Structure 1
């Protein structure tokens, strides 16, 4: 989500929109265009048009774009997450360059949490605790989230949620990692279970990685922290 020069919210991912005329490709910054000109470049939509016809019960994950050439005022925004690359790339706006800066911005602006590039979480795992201590939620995105082992590791680290492309495949694979098999109850435990709800239930086993999965993670993590 971005805003045109005349203050109209639009649904567009990039900072620039590119057109071709007489064989030449030129780009214009979206925030420099009034709405009418922006809509003239093709099947673009403003915010209202994009939401028309969508069931009112459908939720939206709206990404508000930051333009490095513009200054933004921090305001109180409840229910909003701050998206950051967490230092995996460097931007002119320092608030986008680390998880620490993301925490500071969220606390100052009253945001609900952070959506970070997954690699940043692996490079700085201690940041997860700082996010939690600040009473913020932490989600991640990125290509690594299409790797089940990486998603499950984030679950163990305390990440609240992940944005993935292969939703069903990742959900099934992570469920297999997290599945625990309770031991068969002994006759005494079975009898205790019938005696009342105040008796302790059998403890679950700690989830374990297979040797193949451990080997994969040992190869994966050093690449992430470079």
Structure 2
């Protein structure tokens, strides 16, 4: 399927209906980017069908490793997230797919990076944050190494506000060292594709600023850059795309039909885009835009079980993500309700849960109560 010039004007009328007026502010962000030139068309030669995505060794549901093996929730974890090492560890642990975010450096290289910015402690005194799009690949590699490095005549140490600091008053970002994995850098998309087994599926999240509304030109440049790398290096690897950015999902689907596109939803009722307020809104978009599935935040999933039925009726897959997906009761309840894939930081625990489900060793009424309690605790 060709990525054509018409994509630049992709469903302008349709997208204008979907879009809402979005205004917000952010404490740390780059100046608005200059208008980008949309790259030349790309001819995609690979394909992954929706049914292929749902085929896996996991009988009850697909297990998807979060940022490879697991997200880093403390500064000294054994495996650094979003590295080739992390992807390998996810595969070794038994995940059918791994999930990761892709952002684009200033010199046009897709890299695996989750956070909205790259934050460093400069000269052990000042914390600065820059978007990935402000850094060249060389700069990105330097400042994300996890070691104290010299850059631009100053000492930089990668830092992050970790989940383990939640609830701490005036908590400062901590050095993100991963001392046992210091030689693993966040991967480029090309490195991820060529450096891991082809039977490991990739759930590639297309990452955009969650506060500032992206432009058509930005999304097209991002999508076409990622698609080029996928086309050149994916071989026969199963791949799906996902994004919280509704317009990016609709455009990615219109630009190509080789790979499934899933809409991510956090069901965040205060978000400036009403299409992200609920699972119902997400299902409406997926059905109306002929997308291929939904990835929903597990914490609020049980508040809208009727939407799971809508997806089932349309024969569309439902994946979930969130900290609650480390809890066996929550995972079991989701699968019983109709979830077909679970993005998790606890791959082995999920595999054990699936085994129990297959052997019918769960009592679902009890699971439902436990699940609600676990979800409440996770929130």
Question: What TM-score, normalized by structure 2, do the two folds share?
Answer: 0.45
Offset at 1:128?
A: 0.5
User: SS of the residue aligned with 2:205?
Assistant: coil
- Alignment check: 8 A CA contact 2:283 2:307 kept: no
Among 17, 36, 51, which residue is 2:193 paired with? 51
Aligned equivalents of 1:4, 1:36: Cα separation in 2: 9
Among 117, 120, 133, which residue is 1:19 paired with? 120
Aligned equivalents of 1:121, 1:103: Cα separation in 2: 13
Query: 5+ unaligned residues in a row in structure 1: which ranges?
Result: 182-206
- Alignment check: 8 A CA contact 1:177 1:208 kept: no
- Alignment check: 8 A CA contact 1:116 1:139 kept: yes
Query: In the alignment, which residue of structure 2 is the partner of 1:41?
Result: 143
Q: How many residues align?
A: 197
Offset at 1:101?
A: 2.7
Aligned equivalents of 2:213, 2:113: Cα separation in 1: 17
Offset at 1:220?
A: 5.0
Offset at 1:178?
A: 5.0
Aligned equivalents of 1:46, 1:219: Cα separation in 2: 39
Query: In the alignment, which residue of structure 1 is the partner of 2:213?
Result: 70
- Alignment check: 8 A CA contact 2:327 2:374 kept: no
Distance 1:218-1:164 versus aligned 2 partners, 3 A rule? closer
User: SS of the residue aligned with 1:48?
Assistant: helix
Counterparts in 2 of 1:1-226, with a 5 A limit?
1-22=102-123, 23-43=125-145, 44-68=186-210, 69-71=212-214, 72=219, 73=247, 74-75=250-251, 76=253, 78-87=259-268, 90-180=270-360, 208-209=363-364, 216-217=370-371, 219=373, 223=376
Asked which structure has the greater RCO (Cα within 8 Å, sep 6+), the reply is 2
Render the CA deviation track for 1:29-78: whole Å, top value 9, x for unaligned: 22344445434423444322333332333322222213121325431153
Aligned equivalents of 2:140, 2:365: Cα separation in 1: 53
- Alignment check: 8 A CA contact 2:104 2:111 kept: yes
Question: What TM-score, normalized by structure 1, do the two folds share?
Answer: 0.70
Aligned equivalents of 1:51, 1:215: Cα separation in 2: 41
Offset at 1:215?
A: 5.7
